[in-house]
Amino acid sequence: MGQLSPPAPTAPARTAPGRRASGGLRRRLTTAAGALALTAGLVATGPQASAAGLTQVTGFGSNPGNLTMHTYAPDGLGPGAPLVVALHGCTQSASDYYSHSGWPKFADRYGFALVFPQTSSANNANSCFNWFDTADSTRGRGEALSVKQMVDTAVARYGSDTRRVFVTGLSAGAGMTADLLAAYPDVFAGGSIDSGLPAYCATSVSAAYTCMYSPPDKSPAQWGDLVRSAAPAGTTAWPRVAIWQGTSDTTVAPANATELRDQWTDVLGTGQTPSRTASLGGGTTLSEYADATGRPAVRVYSVSGMAHGLAVDPGTGPEQCGATGPYYLDTICSSYHTARFWGLDGGDGGGGGGGTPGTLPAPAGLTVTGTTDTTAALSWSPVSGAASYQVHRGGTKVGTTASASYTDTGLTGATTYSYTVAAVDASGAVGAVSAPVTATTTGYPATCHTADNYQHTAAGRAYQSGGQTYAKGSGQAMGLYNTFVTHTLRQTAPGYYVLADDGC
């Protein structure tokens, strides 16, 4: 990675509503950030091309942190799906993180929306999130508040489940992730800190250098107190935390993973002795810390020989993801393991009550065998050792079956749904999730219209005869042809309407 070099001259810090003017500490923070390696050693690249499927969203709030918001949502995503916020590293962008991290693959597979916040050189010389500045990293302020406003906007836009909102980030994005988990435990159900630092390890430039290369050796309680003091008073529910760290990282010392473990195991009350360890692919060792119920609360993934960056594993396999590039390192797909830890695959984040992930393979051959206006029938190849199967629609479990087929009911006509299936062994551990399939129900997309009889007739949804009004197609009587009688009509086919006053 090389040594730190003197920072290049920077443009004045940005001015935005609610932000202080450039100069003084802000100027020193912005300039010095060019030498931070949550900034250090990151070679700036040219402008990133827009990633297909990534959409910029404007007008998401007062935006005191002067960030931009980008989103991705799979086709057919229904309400009640999870939401994941993903924060890029220094010199990177939202589209860069979208293209390399692997998160869109699992958004498609499991059914959840993604938000990619983006900062810029107007905020920080190397386009880093300002994790070390309390004006940006604390509740209700700066960049942290801008991210919270993005969450609120995405929840409204996609109908996301507010109980299943998660945040992840790389490097400076990981530093900000830790801060967000501490500042907004009422917003985020879980987080993943990839090559990052403990929450509020630094509140100045000099402290940032110390944290990166030789983090303070605080006690777990001291680290935990930093989180508790940042959260709303009286907080008792805390997010689950994954910590990813390469053992050969010279930008963010591996000791940070230890301090992060101490911080979040203290907050979550698990103690610092692992309840389980396991060897994963890519030279990765998993250390797990379960809560009193046996559910994994903190996981530390130590990747042997990995330098500073995000762990990816390009390929088409069910556990593979991402693309290599500067600071996207070919080892193991961290996004896959993080998604399963959070339960985005429809599991409990550890499988079967005991906290151990299932080993059964993903069911192959998932196929839609038929649809009606209200049902979708599925089948797949049986999995050896499966006691049952979980069926998920849009990332939410909708049924369990002992056979290799299932029919989902109560659907809406002319609507597309996404399905995945996972095998469950005799102990209740949920195995890998299948590739998704989509099913489109038959029929006409039901639409409803509430208006007075005169307006219905003028719009062609009804007709009048002898001073009376009738629904077009069904001929149902609607009463006098005037502006004083109001009805709701549901269209069920072209030119066919039925009364739906009791609910549509």
Sign of CA dihedral 37, 38, 42, 46: negative
- Choosing from 93, 171, 334, 434, the catalytic residue is 171
CA–CA separation, 304 vs 245, rounded Å? 9
Neighbours of 44 (CB within 10 A): 14
Query: What tokens were used for 105?
Result: 């693959």
Query: What tokens were used for 122?
Result: 């107007």
Three-state helix/strand/coil letters over 93-147 = CHHHHHHHCCHHHHHHHHCCEEEEEECCCCCCCCCCCCCCCHHHHCCCCHHHHHH
CA–CA separation, 25 vs 18, rounded Å? 17
Q: What strand order describes the sheet that includes 113-118?
A: 55-57, 68-72, 113-118, 83-87, 165-170, 190-194, 240-246, 296-303, 284-290, 276-280
CA–CA separation, 362 vs 346, rounded Å? 13
- Name which of 45, 53, 57 is nearest 88 in CA terms: 45
Under 8 Å between Cβ of 72 and 102: no
User: What is the three-class DSSP state of 84?
Assistant: strand
Neighbours of 445 (CB within 10 A): 11
Output DSSP code: residue 9: P
| Strand-pair category, 396-401 with 388-393 | antiparallel
H/E segment holding residue 302: strand 296-303
381 is catalytic: no
Active centre residues (catalytic):
171
